Amino acid sequence: NHQVRLAARPQGTPGPEVWEHTTEPVPEPGEGRIVVRISHISLDPAMRGWMNEGRSYAPPVGIGEVMRALGLGEVVASRNTDFAVGDTVTGVLGVQEYVESDGRGLQKVSPTADVPPERYLALLGMTGMTAYFGLFDVGALKEGDTVVVSGAAGAVGSVVGQLAKVKGARVVGIAGGPEKCAWITGELGFDAAIDYRSENVSQRLKELAPEGVDVYFDNVGGDILDAVLGRLAMHARVVICGAISQYNAEGGMTGPKNYMNLLVNRARMEGFLVGDYLPRWGEAGTELAGWLAEGRLRSREDVVDGTVADFPEVFLKLFRGENTGKLVLRLNRA
Ligand code: NDP
């Protein structure tokens, strides 16, 4: 059982020195417990936050502990009546090949020929839930709104824009590079895209949202957040989903300067955690799966084949913008 453990707290971008690779025998299930063979590891920007010391919504991963990660796998041994050998489960499984668990917090899922397993880490998993509750509950989306989403070709952002279209909004996505911009406007039906690497975001927002932005779904923070705050409509809602541009920042986060525009426009800015909506995930999952089956939503998974040892390098793709859609590490076995 190959495992990747946190060896040291990173300063800035986490290099190979913060990881330790260990090997243990494949675990046996204790009484009332199961063993899961992990086939897919979810790569999430939030994992960078879990590596830091200090108070947050979840305790930090301890030094020497297996890195925390969402994943998907198959039950290969069971002494728990709720799980049978052969069940596919998702949940917090860690960066390793096998995990022994009491089953709490794990959800059974049913991949089919049409629904590949990695989709349960993407639109049909935590990613889809984040887009759904962030846009509909926190963002209080209304028909006819002008919605701007950053990280728009990423896992969450690509779903946010599509959901806004389903509800009849006008959607502008902000993403890095011409391919990503072409994908969100061409395949996903966004009304417009801004390539923040080559375009002036403030200037383009002025052209694309002349009446202002009603909902801004922020995945990146920093200068892009500041630019959108400068273009808020009256009673705008700014959803703080994440701030990936700041996660590796050394010497502290840099904040927006245009926040007084919240006052001027009687707007609000609100953070949220998808986990707080857990009791409603079932309802949201049914609705998302329905729209997916009707072809009104698309889920793109950016699957990298490799082993647990590849995790540290694959993780960094998120911060280099090398993924389109949901980044997943699929574990190969001999
Ligand atoms: P993504 O699939 O969006 O991957 C990250 C993307 O961020 C990259 O592809 C890159 O795209 C973009 N990015 C990276 N660095 C920068 C930068 N410096 N400036 C601007 N963009 C950058 O990840 P997820 O969809 O999984 O997560 C998106 C956000 O949602 C994150 O901030 C995450 O923390 C947050 N989140 C919050 C949750 C909650 O409960 N609040 C739950 C889940 C996620 P590009 O090429 O366009 O730069």
Same domain, 162 and 39: no
Together in a domain, 117 and 132: no
Residue 283 lies in a domain: no
pLDDT the model gives residue 334: 52
- The number of folded domains in the chain is 2
Please give the number of the atom of ligand 1 that sits closest to the Cα of 153: 47
Residue 239 near residue 138, CB atoms below 8 Å: yes
pLDDT computed for residue 251 by the predictor: 81
Q: What are φ and ψ of residue 147, in 5° steps?
A: -110, 135
Residue 284 domain-assigned? no
211 near 185, Cβ under 8 Å?
Answer: no
Q: Is residue 288 part of a domain?
A: no
Q: Closest residue (by CA) to atom 8 of ligand 1?
A: 321
Ligand 1 atom closest to the CA of 44, numbered from 1: 26
CA–centroid distance, residue 34 to ligand 1 (Å): 33
164 with 243, same domain? yes
- Domain of residue 171 covers 126-275
47 and 141 together in one domain: no
Q: Which residue, by CA, sits nearest to atom 1 of ligand 1?
A: 154
Structure tokens at 107: 């959800």
Q: Which of 232, 260, 275 represents a domain boundary (last residue)?
A: 275
Q: Are 181 and 131 within one domain? A: yes
For residue 175, give the nearest of 113, 118, 219, 128 by alpha carbon: 219
Torsion of CA 283, 285, 288, 294, to 10 degrees: -100
Q: What is the CATH number of the domain that holds 211?
A: 3.40.50.720
188 and 228 share a domain? yes
Contacts of 293 (CB under 8 A, 6+ apart): none
Q: Is the CB of 176 under 6 A from ligand 1?
A: yes
Q: How far is the CA of 77 from the centre of ligand 1 (A)?
A: 36
301: which strand partners?
326
Within a domain: 233: yes
Question: Is 2 exposed, middle or buried, given 0-12, 13-18 or 19+ CB atoms closer than 10 A?
Answer: middle
* Within-domain flag for 292: no
120 Cα: distance to centroid of ligand 1 (angstroms) = 18
7 and 92 fall within a common domain: yes
Tell me, in angstroms, the distance from the centre of ligand 1 to residue 155's CA: 8
Same domain for 130 and 83, yes or no, is no
Is residue 217 within 8 A of residue 157, CB to CB? The reply is yes
Query: Tens digit of pLDDT per residue, the chain (334 long)?
Result: 999 999 999 999 999 999 999 999 999 999 999 999 999 999 999 999 999 998 899 999 999 999 999 999 999 999 999 999 999 999 999 999 999 999 999 999 999 999 999 999 999 999 999 999 999 999 999 999 999 999 999 999 999 999 999 999 999 999 999 999 999 999 999 999 999 999 999 999 999 999 999 999 999 999 999 999 999 999 999 999 999 999 999 887 888 999 999 999 999 999 999 999 999 999 999 999 999 999 999 999 999 999 999 999 999 999 999 999 999 999 986 5
Residue 25 is part of a domain; what is its CATH number?
3.90.180.10
114 shares a domain with 216: no
What 8-state DSSP symbol labels residue 154? B
Do the domain assignments include residue 142? yes
Residue 63 lies in a domain: yes
Cβ–ligand 1 distance for 80 under 6 Å, the answer no
Asked if residue 276 lies in contact with residue 101, where contact means CB atoms within 8 angstroms, the answer is no
Dihedrals φ, ψ of 287, to 5°?
-70, -45
Of 275, 291, 311, the position where a domain reaches its end is 275
- Same domain (yes/no): 104, 139: no
Best mutation site among 126, 185, 220 for ligand 1 pocket (most ligand atoms within 8 Å of CB) = 220
Q: Tell me, what's the pLDDT at 254?
A: 84
| Distance (Å, whole) CA 196 – CA 9 | 31
Closest CA to 232 of 148, 315, 306: 148
